[in-house]
Amino acid sequence: MQKKIIVVGGGIIGLSCAFYLHQEGHHVTILDQSAMNQGASYVNAGYLTPSHIVPLAAPGMATKGLKWMLDSSSPFYIQPRLNLDLLDWGMKFMRSCSQKHVNRSLKVIRDINLFSKELYQDLATLPTLDFHLEDRGLLMAFQTTAAEKEEEIVMRKAKKLGLAVEKISPKKVQELQPDVSMDIVGAYWYRCDAHSTPATFMQQLKSYLVKEGAKIHQNAKVTSLIKKGKTIQAVQTDQSVFSADEIVIATGAWTQKLLQPLGINLPLQAGKGYRLDETQPTGITLPAILMERKVAVTPMQGFTRFSGTMEIAGINHNIRQKRVDAIVHAASQYYPGLKLSQLTKEKVKCGLRPLSPDGLPFIGRHSNFFNLTIATGHAMMGWSLGPATGKLVAEVISNQKTSLDLTAFATERRYG
């Protein structure tokens, strides 16, 4: 049955939901509070990451989190704040930092990532979508044996799960990427990963949807969801009211505040990250995570992106120069001779990752309402998981059997 659907949020998750809902024949309207040209879905590293099988909530992370609170220059930073939502999130995060949770999540994360990668590859064959997608894998590049050992544990798990990964020497890296040298001890090369250029894919999705008759309202902030019993009847924006049969909430880091008045507590924190785009040639052709500095490097269409840091400091887009400097410094540490230009530094941008406490996304309905579907909390994998999330949401709303089991992504799950 064709339905009238409102998707709130036009990031990669909202646009992917809109795309697959449209494919199912539904009438889709997207509402976004911004001009839809900024934020996490534009500044990300563009990685498709089957390699990221270990969730953020893992043993040892709770202790690290406490240490990070005291060091505002670490790649991860939690700004100490007296905030009830942060305390609740922190408790749930700590409960999730167990081996049991990691073991349970490995296969779940692999499967949804591989499913999404397949969908990306399918999308790349469509004549109506023209975007950058490259299968050069991802290097986890290390300068110390400590980082090498840390990644070796992940690599073994990945291999056991059938993911293609191999350890390579600096010489091999040099052969694969001849126009730049790296100061590293070695790297794990996750051949299973891929990369893309986010802004072009976002632009392509928007143009496709508009051409196909979907409605996109930019600068339309949803201020409330109007309910009657167990149904959301309409969506109130700062300009007008939109009625629909089904509502999809894909509002990223902003979701908790939007849903709280409906009696839904979706634990989420914003994890700010930065990106620097170098338009001068760098010689970098292989995506790499500079392990000790947690900086992601991506050769995109026409520029090289350096991104990183995870700053849990509320919803704001303030730029902390200390963090920008740390990314710039890491670039020259791993690629000797590479100096990011002043213009690149001045044009730094940031975005907010929607962090769930256990590192898994929320995908599916909530029992308070018959016609509300939630799709958020993708943390560091939202770009990778866009298409899979969109497809799963379209299946839920079209009352089809879902391609993957959604239990691990339940919106009302327990933590720990």
Ligand X SMILES: Cc1cc2nc3c(=O)[nH]c(=O)nc-3n(C[C@H](O)[C@H](O)[C@H](O)COP(=O)(O)OP(=O)(O)OC[C@H]3O[C@@H](n4cnc5c(N)ncnc54)[C@H](O)[C@@H]3O)c2cc1C
By CB under 6 A, name the binding residues for ligand X: 8-14, 31-34, 39-41, 43-47, 49, 221-222, 250-254, 258, 273-275, 307, 351-354, 376, 378-384
Residue placing its CB nearer to ligand X in the complex, 65 or 351 = 351
3-state secondary structure of 372: strand
C-beta neighbour count of 408 within 10 angstroms: 18
Give min distance, CB of 229 to ligand X, in A.
23
- Least gap, CB of 279 to ligand X (angstroms): 18
140: closest CA among 190, 192, 195?
190
* CB contact at 8 A, 83 and 269: no
Residue whose CB is less far from ligand X, 100 or 347: 347
Q: Phi/psi at 275 (nearest 5 deg)?
A: -135, 145
* Residue (217 or 416) nearer to ligand X, CB: 217
Q: Are strands 27-31 and 4-8 parallel, antiparallel or unpaired?
A: parallel
Least separation in angstroms between residue 362's CB and ligand X is 10
Residue nearest to ligand X (CB): 382
Min CB(236)–ligand X separation in Å: 10
* CA 301 – CA 133 distance, rounded (Å): 10
The nearest distance, CB 171 to ligand X, in angstroms, is 27
Q: Which is nearer to ligand X, 51 or 371 (CB)?
A: 51
What minimum distance in Å lies between the beta carbon of 138 and ligand X? 9
- Among residues 122 and 175, whose Cβ is nearest to ligand X? 122
Which among 354, 355, 356, 382 has a CA at the least distance from the CA of 116?
382
Q: Quick one: 11 or 75, whose CB is closer to ligand X?
A: 11
- CB 308 to ligand X: min, Å: 6
Cα–Cα distances (Å) from 25 to 9, 128, 389, in that order, read 20, 17, 17
The phi and psi torsions of 271 (rounded to 5 degrees) equal -115, 95
Cβ nearer to ligand X, comparing 70 with 319: 319
CB of 185 to ligand X, least distance (A): 24
d(CA 237, CA 66): 39
**Is residue 103 classed exposed, middle or buried when 0-12, 13-18 and 19+ CB atoms within 10 A define those classes?**
exposed
Two structure tokens written together for 156? 């073994």
Residues 149-174 as b or e (16 or more Cβ within 10 Å = b): ebbeebbebbeebebebeebeeeebe
Task: Indicate the residue type of 55.
Answer: P
| Cα 252 to Cα 34: distance, rounded to the nearest angstrom | 13
Nearest C-alpha neighbor of 237 from the set 37, 6, 18, 4:
6
Taking the complex as a whole, the smallest distance from the CB of residue 219 to ligand X amounts, in Å, to 9
> Facing residues of 166 across strands?
189
